[in-house]
Structures are given as structure tokens and as C-alpha cells.
Chain A
Amino acid sequence: MARDILLQICRQLEPGSDGWWEEFVLPHRADLTITACLMMIQRDPMTREGRRTRPIAWEASCLEEICGACSMLVNGVPRQACSTLVDGLKQPIRLEPLKKFPLVRDLLVDRSRMFEELKTIQAWVPGVRLDDTGPGPRIAPELQQVQYALSRCMTCGVCLEACPQVNRRSAFIGPAAIGQAWRFNLHALGAEAAEARLRTLTGSGGIDDCGSAQTCVEACPMKLPLTDSIAALNRDLTRLALRDLWRKWRMIWRSRREMTGSEG
């Protein structure tokens, strides 16, 4: 097993500056992850040509695929560096930052839009008071399983990266936030804000922008039912639109009747 690992890493020191590629050769060991490789380079930051290079910036914390920090492109595929084993990857292994988010440095990007979007869709159970007592409403185990599956979203950004509809020219909110909207609409107390959540997902940037490419579901490391969320909220939105239409029609009908009434 004396095989070496060849890594190609996309470098860029700050936003707007020129990027370049660097190559690194590392000794192969069993069960190595991409993170372990990046750590080896930190300890000995020598390129393939034998040139000392600056430390590589990337985001990482838990290293067990639960915090969502270390998303990057590995051979063009968005995924978590910490759970990507070197064995089984095609060499040279190419590491690039996610492209759908503003670059900070090297493999580090700014995903703050995702946290802002959680505000937009009111991703919380409203009206929780700390000094109340007793448990929340009963929940059927089947519903709990769906809520749990949705609630595992670690805001890693992989689904946005994979979605063809998310790009610089589009305002599409993306699959992650839609999944969370469904998660809270499915909760007995969270549903209080269900209509408000639906309304933020109408119009430009909303659910209509989904092109049904299904890439989000395939890419999601937590296997969230993202396309199910989009389908479910689409149905709810149709229902809401019909209700809006009915209300509008009824208003017109009433006002016309009043008008005809006064004429009579």
C-alpha cells in the first residue's frame, strides 16, 4: 500500500483576488478522510514542487458529519470533507470551494444566507414560554419520524450547491429552507405560522422556482425528504391560492350584490 495520494486544491487568498491550483502528495494510509489529508498539509505545508505554501483555510468542527461545517467540492461533487474517505475517490482528488456562496478564502465560503432564510420562513415554534410547565402535544410516532427526518438538516449548503435553480441570477430560496418550512408546518404548535410561511414561498424566489431536477435529494448527506417537502408545500400553496381566489370572488360578489341592492 505504498501508493501516494495526489491532491489538487483550489487556492484564493481573498474575495476578488486571483485564484490558483496547488498540488500536494501525501502518503497513503487506511481510512483517511479528506479532513485528515488537509490536516497533514497543515503540519507540513509543502507543495508537490517542494514549495512552502500558506496555510489553507477551510471550515470544520465536529468531523463526524453532524455540524455541517466542512462542505466543499470533492472532484466536483458537493459533500462533507470529514466523511469523505480517500479510498474510492478518483485521483488526482480535486478540492474546490462551494461555488454558489461568496468566497472568503481558499475552501472557506460564507453561507450566512441560509441562516437568514431561516428567519424569512420563521423556522421556529412560535409562542413558547419558558415558565410554562408540562410536555407539548402528543405526536404520533409516524409523524415524529417525518419531523425528525426533516429536522436533521445541518444547513451545510450541499443541496443549494447541487440545485441548478440556485445561482447568481436567481432569487430561489432553495430546498433547505423549504424543508424547514414544511417541518414547522407539520408541528401542531408550529402550524400557527403555517400560512405566513407559505406566503413567503409564493412568487419570485419561492417554491415555483423549483425546476424538479431532484438533484437536492440525491446530494443531501442527511437524506432529507426535500422533494417531498416541495411537493407537500406546493399542494398547500395551491389550496391557499384557491382559498384566496374564493375569498376574493366572494368579496366581489358581495359588493356587487350590495350595489345592485342600493339601486333597487
Chain B
Amino acid sequence: MSQHRRDQCVIVVGGGLAGLMATLHLAEAGISVDLFSLVPVRRSHSACAQGGINAAVDTKGEGDSPWIHFVETIYGGDFLADQPPVLKMCEAGPELVYLLDRMGVPFNRTPTGELEVTKRGGGTKYSRGLFAGASTGQQMLYALDEQVRRHEAEGRVRKFEGWTLCSLLLDSAGRCRGISAMPLAAKMTVHAFPAWGVLLATGGCGGLYAKTTTSLICNGAAASLAYQQGAHYGNPEFIQFHPTAIPGEDKCRLVSESLRGGGGRLWTYRGGKPWYFLEEWYPAFGNLVPRDIASRAIYRVCREMDLGIDGKDQVYLDVTHLDSRQLEVEFGGAIEIYEKYTGEDPRTVPMRVFPAVHYSMGGLWVDASHRSNLEGLYAAGECEHLYHGANRLGANALLACLHGGKVVAQSVVEDLDQEASPLPGREIEAEVERQEDWNRRLLEGGGSENPFELYWTLREAMSHYVAVVRTSPDLQKMREILTELKVRYTNLNLGDSGRWANPALALARDLGHMMVLAETVTAGALAREESRGAHYRPEFPERDDSRWLKTTVAQWTPDGPRLWYVPVDTSLLTPRPRSYATDFLEEVRR
């Protein structure tokens, strides 16, 4: 540890795929890294990615290429993503997968021992998905964790697992110079960690919703606190619903999209007979349409046409016709999850599913090199807004994390020779004292509101009012609820004033940040008067490129978010209407 120079240390917050990838690249460049994570990094949310990772390796000779992958990603994202960074990501795909292969990820194999590829998700007809059983994300997370552990054992990386981010340390010019943080499973006092710069890889904000497939740790609090300290936030209104989740009390467990990719069919009863609504509505792609389209179709079937199975919010996802060996080898894990939580066997009985929040396309605003608007602050992974536009394609999330983690590390290395005079000790102490003061107010608050109850009220309201179909009255209602919740938040009672591993203290802090982010998501949704990708406004059902082919940028103010819009870089592919009723690639190929 003797080579650990504080002024050259870079802090990485978040130990999922993006954070670990960045850590590895920084460590290999000889930079000391302090890695902070809410949980042991091996328990990060990347583990939940079941399906696979897209990389246009074209080993099946279908004529796939990074360019086609790019076209489908842009098209799937309804043209809202800046195009050059997306093309770079698609071009990087094959080598990133090869790197993970060399790290020992047990990817599925062909009979001759090569990497196997299959169709893993909607929005494509190409075999582009590489996978490791039904837990590709878990396997990739473990491989990176293992490589980082090697650096840790050799002293280049220090890990702070079980710590929560409290704030960024900013100098008077607004430059980010470190963080304040607090351990969760010990005495909860705030510590300062000055550093050269800070990289956030803190994941998405699906946890703003009750009906979500994301882990409990994905509540957006870290990104929100950076936003409240001056970092801009991009495209907050774009929240992805996954069409096939198992409705659940504590969470909605995901049924992997790879089941649709591998031949699973969605249907419900109409006039007493099975009706394959996706196949009828989208003849060219059928069950392979992207997630936003499938989710809206299920909403339409259940809510507008009242054709949900047993009159409930659910339709069938059917794999009973698939070959039993394919079910076992490719989808064994996905099927086991369904069995475990419902007690029913998907091999013989169709699964009952309904959409749930799954991913946030929006996130901290960063430029193409992953630099935020604050000097010294960077972001990668689901917590930034860069790659998925208005809707993410299946199996692109793992790719974006790996690629983003690599690019952000390169940017940090480029910037490292910039002089950064150390933050004065008194400013650091003042920031720690601000955070401690908040802790004291929370712990000693003698109010009457249970923070856990408020947390669920917020999440349930978001699931109800800012979901797949967003009417103006619903969005207005959510704003009113947030105003009310903020008042109740000033009247908290944690039920425990102790400092030792107090779960209510951690939650109360997060809840404050979550309300700010929920307000920003709602404001973005209300302001965008069009329908694009995952954002659907029935009063404005069409995409409107003349007014809204623009990235939303949000800036925090004490009076609520200030929004403005910047044009999207469409220099590589001219925007065109998005339809999965016909094969759009034929047009592109011509």
C-alpha cells in the first residue's frame, strides 16, 4: 500500500460490471483505486442479467455485423441515442466478449468448443447473443470480481464493501475531489475520502418503483445525490418495463427475454381460443418485438381489451412447445425461477406474466467519453444516459456496462495529469459535519412517519402513475403525491436512534434522494409531449421528431428540476418511423 498516493487515487463507487471493468483498467494502468459498494461487489445487480450479451461475432454466417447491431440498437431506441458512441460500443462488442472469455466466463459452447451464439432478445432476428447458462450477468460479474480481487491481493485496489455514498466532495469551483461515505454494517459515522476524481457506476433507478425486477440496491439514490450537487441528468423519463415478469409481493421476478428469443410465444384467450396477439399485430417480428412494444401490447390486452388471463393483469408466456433439451440447456435457470416462485412447471403449463420496471435508459448526463458536466466526476453503466435512447434492446445492458467501464477509465487516465490542488482540510471537515448533521436530525427526529412506509408509498405511486401508459392527469397526480410525501418526510420517526447497523437510517437517507429523482422522472415525462420508445403519452400518441428529437437535460434547483433539450447526434443514420410490422433492415440494407 506504500505506493498509494492520495492525490492520485481514483474513487469508483459501485462494483457491478461497469465499476469493476473501470477498476480493472485503472489498476492495470497503475492507478490506485478505492472501490466503494453498498454490498460485497459479488452481490451487485449485474448478477441479475439472465439473458446474454450482444456481440456481432457472426459465427453462424448470417451476415451480421457491428453496423447492423448499431442500426438495430438505434432503431430499437427510437433514435433518441447519440449515434457515434453507440456505433463504438457495437464495434467493441466482440473483443469485450473475448476478454471475458479469457477471464474464464463459462460461456456456452458449440460441439467443437467455440463460443455459442443464439437469439437472446427482441428487436433483432440475428443470432448475436452470447450466454453462460441462464445467468450470464452473474458469470461476467464473478469473472471481473475475481480479476479485481487479484489486484486487491496485490495492493492496487482497496475495497470498501458495505459502505454508502453520502456526498461528493466539491471544491469552490465545483470540481469533484472525493466523497464522503458511511459504513452500513458497523457504527454509522461519516468519513471523508479525498481523491483525484470520482467515477460513479451506481446502477439504475428501477427501485423508484414497487413493481420492479431490479435489486433493492438499485434505487438511484447515489445518482440523485450527485444530481443535487450539480451533475446534470439526461432523459430521466425513459424507464423500461420488461414485458415478462412474474407479479410478486416483495419484487417482480424476471422471466428472461431469451425465452421469447428462443421461440416462446405470448398469448391470451379471445373468444375462447388462444390468441397470439404479438404475432397478429407485428407479423414481421412477432414475439421478437422490443420490450416497450411488447409491454404496451400486454397493457392493451389486459387493461383496454380486458382480456387478461382470469380477468387479471396477466397473459401467458408459453414455452411448452419447445424441445425439452433446449429448455434444459438454454433456459433451465429461467424456468427454475418461475417454478420456485409459483410452484408451477413451465414445461407443461404456460407462465403467467405481466410487465414490470426493469431498466432506466436515462441517467447522469455524460459526454461521449463519460465525463459529467462536473470536472472530476465521471459515470458509467446504468447510472448514465448514453447508449439506449428511448428503449434498450435485450442483451445490450451488459455490453454497455463493459464498454462504458473501459471508456470511462481511458478518460480518467487521459485527464490524470491535470493538476488538482488538494481540498483544504476545513472544507472536508465542513462537509463531513453537514452529513453528520443530517444523520443526527434523522436519528433524533421525533415525528410520526415510518420511513419504510413512506418508501413503499412512493414506490407504489410511481408504479401506478408513471408507468407504461402515462396520462397527463396521472402525471399531475404523481406530482401532488410527491409534494405530500415531502411534507411527511420532514416528520420522520426512524424507530431507532442507534448508530449501529441501523437499517432505518440508511433507508431514510436514500428515501430523501429517491423523492428528488422521482420528481425529476415525473417532470420529464410530463414535459415530453410525444410518444417515443418506452415513453407513451396517450394524449400525444405519435413520435414527434420536429419538436422532440432531443435529449432531455435536467438540472436540480431547490424549486424542482429545470429542464432543457439538446439535439440528438443523428449523423450516421437518418431517423425514420419505427415499425416492427415490417422488416426495417431490408430498407437499411438497400
Contact = CB atoms under 8 A, between A and B. Distances in A.
A144 B216 CA distance: 32
A165 to B, nearest CB: 24
A56 B452 CA distance: 12
A147 B106 contact: yes
Contact of A140 (B113, B149, B501): B113
B581 interface: no
B39 A61 contact: yes
A43 B453 contact: yes
Contact of A64 (B139, B337, B456, B494): B337
Contacts of A53: 495
A155 interface: yes
B495 A128 contact: no
B109 A130 contact: no
A103 B343 CA distance: 33
A155 to B, nearest CB: 6
Contact of B341 (A31, A54, A132, A141): A31
A55 interface: yes
A256 interface: no
A30 B15 CA distance: 35
Interface in B139-153: 139, 142-143, 146-147, 149-150, 152-153
B500 A14 contact: yes
B500 A13 contact: yes
Contacts of A33: 248-250, 341
A110 B249 contact: no
A44 B449 CA distance: 11
Chain A contact residues: helix, strand, loop or mixed: loop
Nearest to B48: A62
B249 A184 contact: no
Contacts of B453: 43-44
A151 B142 contact: yes
A64 B254 contact: yes
B408 interface: no
Interface string B476-511: 000000000000000000111010111110000000
B164 to A, nearest CB: 13
Contact of B39 (A42, A67, A85, A125): A67
B98 interface: yes
Given A138-B113, A155-B42, A64 B48 contact: yes
A104 to B, nearest CB: 5
A218 to B, nearest CB: 17
B443 interface: no
B139 A148 contact: yes
A83 B251 CA distance: 11
Interface string A33-45: 1011001001111
B45 A119 contact: no
B418 interface: no
A52 B493 CA distance: 12
Interface in A11-44: 13-14, 29, 31-33, 35-36, 39, 42-44
A68 B104 CA distance: 21
Contacts of B504: 55
Interface in B66-107: 95, 97-99, 101-104, 106-107
Contacts, number: 199
Interface stretch (B130-138, B420-428, B515-523): B130-138
B185 A110 contact: yes
A52 to B, nearest CB: 7
A214 B58 CA distance: 45
Contacts of A13: 498, 500
B48 A139 contact: no
B215 interface: yes
Given A63-B251, A148-B132, 4 more contacts: A54-B495, A62-B215, A68-B43, A133-B95
A65 B340 contact: yes
A138 B250 contact: no
Contacts of B152: 119
A261 interface: no
A69 B146 contact: no
Interface string B104-117: 10111111111100
11 contacts: A13-B500, A14-B501, A52-B495, A55-B503, A64-B48, A124-B149, A133-B98, A138-B109, A138-B114, A148-B139, A151-B106
A159 to B, nearest CB: 16
B532 to A, nearest CB: 30
Nearest to B24: A130
Contact of B456 (A43, A52, A122): A43
Given A110-B185, A125-B104, A144-B107, A63 B133 contact: no
A78 interface: no
Nearest to A35: B250
Interface in A83-104: 83, 85, 104
A115 interface: yes
B452 A43 contact: yes
A148 B106 contact: yes
Given A43-B452, A43-B453, A144-B109, A104 B42 contact: no
A210 B101 CA distance: 33
Contacts of A138: 109, 112-114
Contacts of A57: 501-503
B337 A123 contact: no
B555 interface: no
A55 B106 contact: no
B104 A190 contact: yes
A77 interface: no
Contacts of A31: 248-249, 341-342
Given A67-B215, A133-B95, A135-B102, A105 B500 contact: yes
A264 interface: no
Interface string A110-136: 111001001100111110111011111
B417 to A, nearest CB: 21
For the complex of A and B, 6 pairs with smallest distance between CB atoms: A138-B113, A124-B146, A36-B250, A42-B452, A67-B43, A148-B106
